[in-house]
Amino acid sequence: MTDKKEWPLWEVFIRSQHGLAHRHVGSLHAPDAEMAIMNARDVYTRRNEGVSIWVVKASEIAASSPSEKGPLFDPANSKVYRHPTFYEIPEELGHM
Amino acid sequence: MTGQDALFEYLLRLSDNALILGHRLSEWCGHSPALEEDLALSNVALDLIGQTQLWLSLAGEVEGKGRDADKLAYLRDARDFRNVLLVEQPNGDFALTMARQFFFDAWHYLLLRELKGSKDARIAEIAAKGLKEVTYHLERSRDWVLRLGDGTEESHRRMQTAIDDLWMYTGELFESDEVDQAMAREGIGADLAALHEPWLGLVRATAEEATLTLPQPGWAQRGGKRGIHSEHLGYILADLQFLQRAYPNATW
């Protein structure tokens, strides 16, 4: 075979049985999405029932640049109205 | 042959298929085409070995001679193994392994689906547990037959060769002897002949989609279920049983 293509890299996100959100758990190589999901099952979940798997090609992910860390993330700590931490959330509302 | 003997024999067949195929798959460990595939093959092997343990424990119980799963796995010789010839065939290339897996998985899936309704609750329970795993095995092996068959010229050629080479071992899967018939009659085992059509349907549809040609029905190699094996099984057992033969009854 002359045309040995490298399988692309996929990032894997998994929501566990009682988890609330998908969490990034790692990456793997696979020829396409279907195989990436199967492989993610074997590599990252040991096929536990009731988990949800997302895979996304690593090339589809846009990341923030570390050099812009300052302007992007420095919180405006002096402006208290930006941090609505003093509201009380009623119990029955659950997770927000 | 008493009912108890037939049941013991039947359980050995179930367990030996899983044991020998599980062993074959474990030979791939660290040698697969990709890391992810390596893990997947090992997972399937582990599933099958797990099923073996359940079947063999039950077989030992039914036999009632104090042989546990270990004794049955490690201290029987080739003549006493009851696996079908298909599962003892060498791994060959990846295509051959996947063709063997697909033929077996499709059959195993149909069989366990029947055994899930077995009148013997212990068999029904093991079958139900195994069926979940085998459904996944089938999904994977079928997928690989499609990918390789409908892949490159080279992968197509290899997959076609694999199917041609293994075809003569598929007939044995559907043959019933007096043990199978007795078990089926009592509602404990499955009617193997009745699995042939659904199996062929699945295999034919997959081959078609994979642009592969199924060989004409022809002569079937048989004997495994009666202990008449190919020369491969002896080598497998030499590997598998060495330690237990060298240090019998050691605790591990």
pLDDT digits (tens, 9 = 90+) for B167-179: 999 999 999 999 9
- A32-68 in b/e form (b: 16+ CB < 10 A) is eeebbebbbbbbbbeeeeebebbbeeeeeeeeeeeee
Mutate to test the interface with B, among A39, A45, A46 (most CBs of B within 10 A): A39
DSSP symbol at A43: I
pLDDT digits (tens, 9 = 90+) for B162-212: 999 999 999 999 999 999 999 999 999 999 999 999 999 999 999 999 999
DSSP-derived pairing of the beta strands A9-15 and A52-57:
antiparallel
pLDDT at position A85? 74
What ipTM did this prediction achieve? 0.77
Element (H, E) at A35: helix A33-40
- Yes or no, beta carbons of B40 and A31 under 8 Å apart: no
Q: How many helices (H) and strands (E) are present in chain A, helices listed first?
A: 2, 3
Q: Which residues in chain A have Cβ-Cβ distances shorter than 8 Å to B147?
A: 31
Q: Which residues in chain B have Cβ-Cβ distances shorter than 8 Å to A30?
A: 36
Name the CATH code of domain B3-246 (choices 1.10.10.60, 3.40.1260.10, 1.20.1260.10, 1.10.40.30): 1.20.1260.10
| Chain A residue closest in CA terms to B139 | A38
Cβ–Cβ contacts within 10 Å for residue B219, how many? 8
Task: Give the tokens for residue B57.
Answer: 């424990």
Q: Where are the domains of chain B?
A: 3-246
A24: Cβ–Cβ under 8 A, 6 or more apart, which residues? A11, A12, A13
Mutate to test the interface with B, among A38, A46, A55 (most CBs of B within 10 A): A38
Cα B19 from chain centroid (whole Å): 8
- Please indicate if any CB of chain B lies within 8 Å of the CB of A47: yes
Terminal C-alpha separation, chain B:
35
- Yes or no, beta carbons of B39 and A39 under 8 Å apart: yes
Global pTM value:
0.89
Q: Which residues in chain A have Cβ-Cβ distances shorter than 8 Å to B35?
A: 28-29
**Positions in chain B whose pLDDT score sits under 50:** none
Per residue of chain A (96 residues), what is the pLDDT tens digit? 445 678 999 999 999 888 889 999 999 999 999 999 999 998 898 767 778 999 999 999 999 887 776 666 676 667 777 777 777 878 887 766
